[in-house]
Amino acid sequence: MARIDLSAQGEAGDNVCAFLDMLAFAEGTILYGGDDGYNVLVGGKTFDNYEKHPKVYVPLTRYKVTSSAAGRYQFLWKTWQALALKLNLPDFGPVSQDRAAIELIRERKALLDVREGNIIAAIQKCRQIWASLPGAGYGQREHKMTDLLREYSKAGGM
C-alpha cells in the first residue's frame, strides 16, 4: 500500500493511493522484496538502503536495454534526480517515492482525473511515463486496462 498520508483529502486521497497501488501492480514491483515494492530494482532484485536512488544499471536482455529503474514506481535515476531536486525530497524512502509518483501524475495533467475517479483517462495520460500501462509503446509488457481497473478497485479506488 502507498505510504503517503492523504487522509486530509478524503475520498480524493483514497483514489490517489489506489492509483499508486495500481501503478505498483502494473510495474510488477509488489511481487518482489518485502516492502511493497519500494526496495525493488528493475528485474526483481532488491536494495536495502533508502538514503538515495540506488543508481544500479541492470541489463534487460529481453528488451535489449539497460535500465536504472528502481523503487515501487520504477524511477529512472535521471528522472529521480530531477524530481528529488524539484520536490526537495530527503531520501528515496517510501513517502518520497509516493510524492514523486504523484508529481509525475500531476505533470501529465492526470491528477484531477485520478482524484475524480476518471482512471481510464488518467492511465492514458500517464502511459508515456510507465511502460507497463496500455498503449505505452515501449515494446515492453503492457497490462490490459481491465486488469488495471480491477486492481484500482481492489485498492479502494472509486
Pair 46, 32: CB distance under 8 Å: yes
pTM: 0.94
Q: Is 142 a catalytic residue?
A: no
Q: What is the pLDDT, as a whole number, of residue 134?
A: 95
Please list the helix, strand and coil fractions of the chain in percent, rounded to the nearest 5, in that order. 45, 5, 45
Average pLDDT over residues 79-86: 98
Is the pLDDT at 107 greater than 70? The verdict is: yes
- Give me the residue spans of the domains in the chain: 7-154
The residue annotated as part of the active site, out of 11, 27, 142, 151, is: 27
Domain 7-154 has CATH 3.30.2020.30: no
Pair 80, 93: CB distance under 8 Å: no
Element (DSSP H or E) covering residue 119: helix 119-126
